[in-house]
Structure 1
Amino acid sequence: MTTDGAFTYNGGRVDPGETQNIRYGISETYLGDPVRIPVTIINGEREGPTVFLTAAAHGDELNGIEVVREVAFEWDLSDLAGTLVCMPVLNVPAFLAQERYLPIYDRDLNRSFPGHEDSTSAKRMAYRIFQNFIEPCDLGLDFHTSTRGRTNMLHVRADMKNKRVARLARAFGSNVIIDGEGPEGTLRGEATDAGVPTITIEMGEAHRFQRRLIDDALAGVESVFAEYSLRDASLVRWPGWRTVITDNQEKTWIRADVGGIVDMHYEVGSLVHIGDRICTITNPFKDDNTTVKAPFTGVLVGVLENPVVYPGNPLCHLVELDEKTLGVVEQQQSPARHTHV
């Protein structure tokens, strides 16, 4: 931001009270045509923080696209105190191909930040995004889904050792926060290192819009806006219960030891107790069943959607709950949400 409150990027300027929809060039195709990402910049008339909202860093992760678009185009932002930088589709080449990674050499854009202007195609794209629209901000929300064949409950991933990140993560108001810095090259990790506290929001599955999760995420965005006083008429929300999963708590992706067809007995977000039968793996004749039991008590943050597995394939992501949180969740989830007794 400039001293007069304008948001500037290489090639443009958005003054207070203005909104711009731009298609910003970050690369070129084999034919020399521009690869451009859609960016909406809304600069409020009142002073406040500059916040970026990003989605589809992986091209098949669609839920976050609708979250970012609804904030930018359906919310009344006439009282906005600050600036919003909305990027609903970061990875345009992968989005067009409906693939997770960049079609160019199958590179992961979300392992390429902060990028470099003289490096690989992915890092050049990341560099232009980062320099123009990420680094000038004060905080950021990066929306993701699970990969294809799996689904996630809505939860936040954040470096809770960083006080500024922890404030942002708690403001979003999810039940589960998984603590960690994130792998090298991720948008949230590199933005945070650059002084822009950023969290990842995981929600649902790839290749679809899931309205309930989109609405929950929008409520989280509104809660963040309340925490940082971007809007007047909103409140910071309390989700009813919250657990922060740290290195001191158990968390694991439970994997199949045999191949077969999976009958999942619990939904994503369900509470399971130690020894509960999470799923059963069978052969086509159903005469050789392998039961998979919960190794500890916790919540299923992620579960398999595609019901076929090889040995070693992930079945579910289980995170442990502390005793206090466990009691609250047991009350809210009684009777347990499962499909088989």
Structure 2
Amino acid sequence: MTDTPGDAFTYDGGRVDPGETQNIRYGVSETYLGDPIKIPVTIVNGEHPGPTIFLSAAAHGDELNGIEVVREVAHEWDHSDLHGTLVCLPVLNVPGFIAQQRYLPIYDRDLNRSFPGDETSTSAKRIAARVFRNFIAPCDIGLDFHTSTRGRTNMLHVRADMEDEPVARVANAFASNVIIAGEGPEGTLRQEASNAGTPTITIEMGEAHRFQRDLIDEALSGVLSVFAEFGVRPAESVQWPGWRTVIGGWDEKTWLRADVGGLVEMHHDVGSLVYEGDRICTITNPFKTDSDVVEAPFTGLLVGTLENPLVYPGNPMCHLVKLDVRTRRALEHEQAADDRP
């Protein structure tokens, strides 16, 4: 790496030179009263050349864990030896964040199905277009943080198109135990950014409406590992999670859904290893006179589980992914080590 300075980062209305940091509120839309709707953006341009990486959170306004990850990277880490540029977008969906809800309150649109956006289309696509053009497309790598929707929780895992080699490199560098492979739905930030030449992964972590410190710290370790892989923090080293499973086709994962309505008692926590035939949860009526036992259809890992114990028939209760024998044994070994006094 040379000691020559990198390039300036430019966006509509501004410029951040090497060695500079800017905190800006960038206008993406307007309220019914014509007042500006602005998103917070921190741009840290290192003194040394390197990749430009965006970190984004709260595309769904009630998903808070990622906000703290992005804020800590932007404002608490030492960037004196930063090689490259960080574009930190802690709250993409400001209207949803203010309303404490998942979607944009404007016609209940999903911002994370609106990328890369369209300056002449719906409100959601106009917002997406301004964000994408100014702060996503100029980047070389992307990390997009999410949580489960309300009433459910996820263990920390990565979602990425593992058939796209540059995306797979980012996903592997993040050092999570679980990677769920796939392109992702059309209009998602990770798919559209990757298609536009910015390899991007989604990090799922925890539940909506709260900060979960253990998951935030785990995600920060993953960010540091990505920075090491791409030379952004040259003194750091890429991490290995100890064991990893990459989940591909639909035959390797399933959402277990309720066949009856009632109240759910979960018998395992998110992140648990369960074996084929294990009782995962039991659904009972208010009198506990009827019960429906839900068993694991295969041996696997509970990546996501229900937090709200009330279900209608068809409601998802847990997300189970298959583990091969080698991964299962590695996980069993790890859990046995954790249980030792």
TM-score in terms of structure 1 length: 0.96
What does residue 245 of structure 2 align with?
243
What does residue 209 of structure 1 align with?
211
Match of 1:333, SS state, is: helix
In 1: Cα distance, 2:333 partner to 2:293 partner: 27
What does residue 7 of structure 1 align with?
9
What does residue 54 of structure 1 align with?
56
Shift of 1:44: 0.2
Shift of 1:249: 4.7
Shift of 1:292: 0.3
Q: Quick one: percent identity of the two aligned structures? A: 75
Q: Please, which of 258, 281, 284 is the counterpart of residue 283 of structure 2?
A: 281
Change (3 A) 1:283 1:223: same
What does residue 78 of structure 1 align with?
80
What does residue 68 of structure 1 align with?
70
Amino acid at match of 1:229: G
What does residue 90 of structure 2 align with?
88
1:142-190 per-position Cα deviation (integer Å, ceiling 9, x unaligned): 0000000000000000000000000000000000000000000000000
What does residue 333 of structure 1 align with?
335
What does residue 120 of structure 2 align with?
118
1:178-203 per-position Cα deviation (integer Å, ceiling 9, x unaligned): 00000000000000000000000000
Amino acid at match of 2:197: G
Q: Please, which of 177, 184, 202 is the counterpart of residue 186 of structure 2?
A: 184
- Any residues of structure 2 matched to 1:228-267 within 5 Å, and which? 228-247=230-249, 249-267=251-269
**Paired residues of 2:265 and 2:283 also in contact (CA < 8 A):** yes
What does residue 97 of structure 1 align with?
99
Shift of 1:336: 11
In 2: Cα distance, 1:276 partner to 1:248 partner: 21
Provide the alpha-carbon RMSD of the alignment: 1.4
What does residue 30 of structure 2 align with?
28
**Paired residues of 1:270 and 1:336 also in contact (CA < 8 A):** no
What does residue 222 of structure 2 align with?
220
Amino acid at match of 2:136: I
**Paired residues of 1:270 and 1:333 also in contact (CA < 8 A):** no
What does residue 166 of structure 2 align with?
164
**Paired residues of 2:259 and 2:314 also in contact (CA < 8 A):** yes
TM-score in terms of structure 2 length: 0.96
Amino acid at match of 2:299: T
In 2: Cα distance, 1:267 partner to 1:334 partner: 16
1:16-75 per-position Cα deviation (integer Å, ceiling 9, x unaligned): 000000000000000000000000000000000000000000000000000000000000
1:303-327 per-position Cα deviation (integer Å, ceiling 9, x unaligned): 0000110110001000001111111
Amino acid at match of 1:18: E
**Paired residues of 1:249 and 1:319 also in contact (CA < 8 A):** no
Amino acid at match of 1:195: G
Amino acid at match of 2:320: L
In 1: Cα distance, 2:242 partner to 2:273 partner: 15
1:78-100 per-position Cα deviation (integer Å, ceiling 9, x unaligned): 10000000000000000000000
> Where in structure 1 are there 5+ consecutive unaligned residues?
none
- Any residues of structure 2 matched to 1:318-329 within 5 Å, and which? 318-329=320-331
Structure 1 segments (4+ residues) deviating >3 Å: 334-337
In 2: Cα distance, 1:133 partner to 1:289 partner: 51
**Paired residues of 1:264 and 1:280 also in contact (CA < 8 A):** yes
Match of 2:144, SS state, is: strand
Change (3 A) 1:335 1:262: farther
Match of 1:223, SS state, is: helix
Amino acid at match of 2:194: T
